[in-house]
Copies of this chain bind each other. A is one copy, B any other.
Amino acid sequence: MSDHPYYNQEVHGPYELFDLGPFPLEEGGTLRGCQLAYTTVGELSDTRDNAILLLPWYAGTSKRLGQAYIGPGRALDPGKYFIILVNQLGSGLSTSPHNTPAPFGRASFPRVRTGDDVRAQERLVRERFGLDHLELVLGASMGAQQAYEWTVRFPDMVKRAAPIAGTAKTTPHDLLYVETFSEAIRSDPAWRGGWYASAEDVHLGLRRHARVWGLMGFSTEFYKQAMWQGLGFSSLEDFLVGLLEGAFLPNDPNNLLCQAWKWQQSDVGRHSDGDLAAALGRVKAKTFVLPVDEDMVIPIRDCEAEQRLIPGSELRVINSLWGHLALLGLDPSYTQQLDRHLGELLDKTV
């Protein structure tokens, strides 16, 4: 599992692997010898009442998550909290298309849903750490989808929730967005229905996939103000290649498509026969819903519509010209606002 040039501990570590054994999936497949990659920061208190679960976005891994959201003096202070960071099924670090042996790997990797990830995470939290509740469950984008799934599936385990730039149910427009960047990979003849010989063969598809992220991932004003200059890039093209193509090129295409399909299907309404309002009405966690004002992928309007369905929740809008990819944590203003909201949420007695 560790000889891949990108999916290994040198690049993304250190991390541990939690063995789930044979893990049946909601769509009917089974991950045999399923492993969930995770890492922790800070110390679990003797009373086990300081645990936080930080959930990953699309193509994001625990290392980047930790760098972006955890730090001394920040809301997620490792001197105060025990923070568990997990990696998605399909992320390349946990069980994924690229590291699953034949006949079930690669293009034959079974469909994974958000609910599968959250069930695996719950076993990690309970079996590995003996926790029966979490002080806070949070994540951005696909991490928000998982956070919502936690609050609906395990309402008694989640004291506070902070879904950031993500929805409890994927909107039709997001379905189209994810389809567009997925199709950018699949339309590369080198993809060969997922049976490419080497991920590098599909580099043109991966590059186009990155460009679709460029189209929606940042705000129109981010580009108009050439805010990429502040990141040390010398031109728009230099930025698109350097940041976006650079970020996605090392990924395995089937791994990305596994996560993309999961994103498209995500819907906590499945717990109430498709009734989103009924599902969100069962949430017990004190919830801050945190959209980004300039986000084209996850508009405030969609977040607010869901927030209204969650008892006792609050809408906390973060202002950032970075748009959706403010979640990367490279905009100091985003980080400052987010930490303030998370600090308030953690201070609430629940």
Contacts of A220 in B (CB 8 A): 171, 173, 299, 301-302
Please state if B302 and A224 are interface contacts (CB–CB under 8 Å). Answer: yes
Chain A stretch 205-227: residues in CB contact (< 8 A) with chain B: 208, 211-212, 214-216, 220-221, 223-224, 226
Q: Is the Cβ of A223 less than 8 Å from the Cβ of B173? A: yes
Contacts of A187 in B (CB 8 A): 187-188, 204, 208
Give how many A residues have a beta carbon under 8 Å from the other chain's beta carbons.
29
Measured in the bound complex, the distance between the Cα atoms of B183 and A9 in whole Å is: 36
B172 lies within 8 A of A224 (CB): yes
**B-contact 0/1 string along A175-210, CB 8 Å cutoff:** 111011001000111000000000000001000100
Known: A172-B223, A173-B220, A173-B224. A179 touches B301 (CB 8 A): no
Distance, CA A296 to CA B224, complexed state (A): 14
Question: Which residues of chain A from 221 to 239 have a CB within 8 Å of any chain B CB?
Answer: 221, 223-224, 226, 236
- Shortest distance from the beta carbon of A305 to any chain B beta carbon, whole Å: 9
Task: Check B301 against A215 for contact (C-beta < 8 Å).
Answer: no
**Set B208, B216, B236, B301: member contacting A183, Cβ < 8 A:** B208
A146-184 toward B: CB 8 Å interface, digit per residue (1/0)? 000000000000000000000000011101110110010
Judge whether B221 and A176 touch: CB under 8 Å. Answer: no
A180 partner residues in chain B, CB cutoff 8 A: 211-212, 215
Are A223 and B189 interface neighbours, CB within 8 A?
A: no
For A223, the chain B residues whose CB sits under 8 A away are 171-173, 176
Q: How far is the CB of A166 from chain B (nearest CB, A)?
A: 14
Contacts of A221 in B (CB 8 A): 301
CA gap between A239 and B226 in the complex, in Å? 36
Task: List 4 additional A-B contacts (Cβ < 8 Å) besides A175-B236, A215-B216.
Answer: A173-B224, A176-B223, A180-B211, A180-B215
Taking Cβ atoms with an 8 Å cutoff, the residues of A that contact B are: 171-173, 175-177, 179-180, 183, 187-189, 204, 208, 211-212, 214-216, 220-221, 223-224, 226, 236, 296, 299, 301-302
Name 15 interchain pairs, CB-CB below 8 A, sorted by A.
A171-B220, A171-B224, A172-B223, A172-B226, A172-B236, A173-B224, A175-B236, A176-B211, A176-B214, A187-B204, A187-B208, A189-B189, A220-B299, A221-B301, A296-B296
